[in-house]
Structure 1
C-alpha cells in the first residue's frame, strides 16, 4: 500500500509542481470522525461507571461502576511524554542550535521547537509533547555524516511537518490508535484454553475482529496523507537548505544501514582493543571514523544504492514514500537555493554545544558494544 500510494502521489505532485498544498481531504475528515467515535466510547464508559458508582453507592453496583471507571482510565487519550532516559538539550544548553532551528522554522511559516533530544539512531523526527510543546529528535549518527547544508535540509524537513500536519500522529487520531491497541490487548485470546476459556475466546472473537477492522480502516484513511506530508516536507528541506543539500540528505538516508553497520563495527573494535570500554579514551574518534567512512564512499556506490533502492522500493518506513521517488521529485522540480546558510563559524558553535552529548553517547555506544538497527 505504501509503495502504491508513493507512486500515485509522485505522479500527482510532479504534475502539480508549484501548487503543492496539503489541504484536508475527505479521508482525513473520516479518520477524525472515527477517532472521535473511539474517544466517545471511552467517555461513555466513564459516564456509565460514574453513574453506577453514584447511584449504587454502598451497594453491589459500585463494583461494575469502579470497573468501568478503571477501564475508561486505561483507554483515555494520552499526550506524548519525554522518555525518562532521553538525552535532552534545552534552549539554555544549546542557544546556537535553537537559534538555527528558529530561523529555519521562520522560513517554513511556523515556530521552532521547545525540546531537542539526541539519540543513537540514523534518523530524525518531530512530535508533539502534551498539547503545545514541540519535540525534535536528532539521531547523532545521521547528523555527524551530513554536511552543514544537509543538516539545514534535515531540520527543514522535520520542521516542515508542522506546517502541513500529519493526521496519523496528531493528538486526536494518534491517541485513538492507542485506545484501539489497548482494546485489542484486553480482547486477546487466552492461550491453551480450557473449555470455559475457549468459550471466552469465542466471545472475544467478534469484538476483536471489529477492533482490528477499525485499525486497518484508519491506516487506509491516513496512509496517503502521511506520505503526502513526507513529499511536502522534502520540498521544505529543499527551500531551507537547497535542492542539492536535500538530495544529498536522501543519499545519506539510502546509506542508513551502512551508517549503523560502520558505527557498530567501530564501537566493537574500540570495545575489544581499547584500554577500558567505559573510559573516555576508548570512545575517542568514534564519530570521526564514521564520518571518514561515509566520505570515502565513491559516487558510483551512491548510484548503486539509488538503483538498489529503486528496485527494492526502499523507504524509511511504511509511512514514507519510496526514497528513490522522493529523490526524483526533488531533482525534477525547479532547483531551490538555500534560504538558510550554515557557515563554518556557526557550524563550529553548534558542534561545541553538542560536544558533551556527543562524547557521552560515544562512550555509551562503545560500552554497550552495539546500537539499534
Structure 2
C-alpha cells in the first residue's frame, strides 16, 4: 500500500535498480512499490504467508486457487460483454433480463397470493379461520414489496442551502435527459450514487466528499453526468419491477435466518431457495446492468469530453491511497499551532485534493495494470474499471460540455464547506 500523500511541491528522487527477473532497469520511488513494467515483476507486492501450520496453509492455497478460478470465469463474462458492446451488439446485454423479469413476477405472485388468501380468510372464513387471517396479516407485512424510503438527515443538502450545487446538477441532468434531482446528500464515501425511492420515485444523488475532493471541476461534472446517466441508461435492475422483487427476496432471506437448531432444520430449504434465487437474479441481470454502466460512462463524456471522463474513471483507482490518507489523519493528534491549529480537516481535504498529482506516471501505469489483472471494479455491479476506461476511449461521443466556471466553482465549494467539516469530523473520530 502506498504511503500517504506528501505536501504539494515536495520532491522525491527516483533511484535506478535492476529487475531480479528480467534485469531491466527499474526506477524506484520510496513512496510507491518498485515494479518492472517490462515483465510485471512485483506488480502486486506479495503478502507474507500468514499460516505456519502446513494443513492450514494448504487449505488457504486451495481457497486461493478457487478464488482465482472464479475471477477467471467472471473476467471471461465481463470481457465477452465488452467485446459485444465494442462491436456494436448492444442486444447481447439484454438477453437475461427477460427471464429475470419472469422470476420477479413469481416473487410478486407469492406476495399477492398471500395477500389474497389473507383477505379471503378475513372476509369469508369462519371464526377460527379469521384468527388465522389476522395472524397472516403480519406475514403480509413482512412479504410486502420494498420501494425504498428517503429519510433526510444531516447528510442532506436542501436547495436553499446549496443553490449553486443544485443548479449545476440540474443543468447536467437536463443535458443527459434526466429529471432534476429531488435531493442531494454529501457523505464520507470515496464513491457517488444515484437512486429513486418511494411511491413517488423521488431521486437522491449522493456525493462522496473524499472522491469529490480529488476531482477537478470538469471531472466533477463528468461524475454528475455518470450518476444522472443511471436515470436514463435503461438499467432494468433499477426499475420498480425488478428492484422491488430483489428487495423482497433479500428481506425474505434475512427473515428466514433462525438461530434455534429446530427452526434451522425447518427453514433450511426456504432459506436455501431464496439464496439461490438471489444469485440467479444477479446472474441474469449483471450483463444488462454492466452495459448500463458503460452507457452512463458515455453520458459522462457527453457533458464534458472523452478525455475528462477517462480521467474521472482513473481517479477511482485512487481509493486505496485515499484510505491511506484517512487512516493517517485518524491517527494524528490535532494541531496546536499554525494556520490550521485545531483544524486538521483543512489539511485532510488539501491532501485528498493533491492525491491525483502525487502519483508518478509509472505508479499510474502500475495501478492500471493491476486493475486489469485483478479485474478491479467499484463493486460487483460495475464492470472492471480498466474496461470502462478502454471502452470510453474507443466509442465516439457527441460532447456538449456543461460549463462550470470559476465563480460557480467557488460557490459550490462554499456550500459544501459545512458538509466537509461534518464529514471530516466523522472520519477523524472514526
Q: Does 1:135 align with 2:197?
A: no
CA deviation map 1:131-154 (0-9, x unaligned): 321110110000001001100110
Q: Does 1:211 align with 2:274?
A: yes
For 1:10-49, what aligned pairs fall within 5 Å after superposition?
10-16=82-88, 25-49=94-118
SS in 2 for 1:285: helix
SS in 1 for 2:189: coil
TM-score (norm 2): 0.76
Distance 1:22 1:139 in 2: 33
What residue is the counterpart of 1:345 in the other structure? 407
Q: 1:180 aligns with which of 244, 249, 252?
A: 249
Distance 1:26 1:251 in 2: 30
TM-score (norm 1): 0.87
Q: Does 1:222 align with 2:282?
A: no
SS in 1 for 2:401: coil
Distance 1:364 1:182 in 2: 30
What residue is the counterpart of 1:144 in the other structure? 213
SS in 2 for 1:321: coil
C-alpha contact (below 8 Å) 1:22/1:164 kept by paired residues: no
1:86 deviates by 5.0
**Cα distance 1:34–1:51, how it changes in 2: closer, same or farther (>3 A)?**
same
Larger radius of gyration between Structure 1 and Structure 2: 2
SS in 1 for 2:383: coil
SS in 2 for 1:134: strand
What residue is the counterpart of 2:147 in the other structure? 79
How many positions carry a matched residue from both structures? 354
C-alpha contact (below 8 Å) 1:2/1:318 kept by paired residues: no
Q: Does 1:163 align with 2:232?
A: yes
CA deviation map 1:109-129 (0-9, x unaligned): 222211001100000010002
SS in 2 for 1:60: helix
**Cα distance 1:51–1:24, how it changes in 2: closer, same or farther (>3 A)?**
farther
CA deviation map 1:227-253 (0-9, x unaligned): 001111111111112111111111110
What residue is the counterpart of 1:262 in the other structure? 325
1:349 deviates by 1.4
What residue is the counterpart of 2:396 in the other structure? 334
What residue is the counterpart of 2:192 in the other structure? 124
1:329 deviates by 0.9
Larger helix percent: 1
SS in 1 for 2:159: coil
Distance 1:167 1:334 in 2: 25
CA deviation map 1:333-373 (0-9, x unaligned): 3366452132222211111111111122212222x1x3xxx
CA deviation map 1:266-304 (0-9, x unaligned): 2331xx24359xx96343332112212332222221111
What residue is the counterpart of 2:172 in the other structure? 104
**Cα distance 1:176–1:280, how it changes in 2: closer, same or farther (>3 A)?**
farther
What residue is the counterpart of 1:274 in the other structure? 335
- Any gaps of 5 or more consecutive residues in structure 1? none
Q: 1:238 aligns with which of 301, 307, 312?
A: 301
- Any gaps of 5 or more consecutive residues in structure 2? 1-72
1:6 deviates by 2.1
What residue is the counterpart of 1:294 in the other structure? 356
**Cα distance 1:56–1:226, how it changes in 2: closer, same or farther (>3 A)?**
same
CA RMSD of aligned residues (A): 2.4
Q: Judge which range, 104-113 or 240-249, deviates more.
A: 104-113
Q: Judge which range, 344-353 or 200-209, deviates more.
A: 200-209
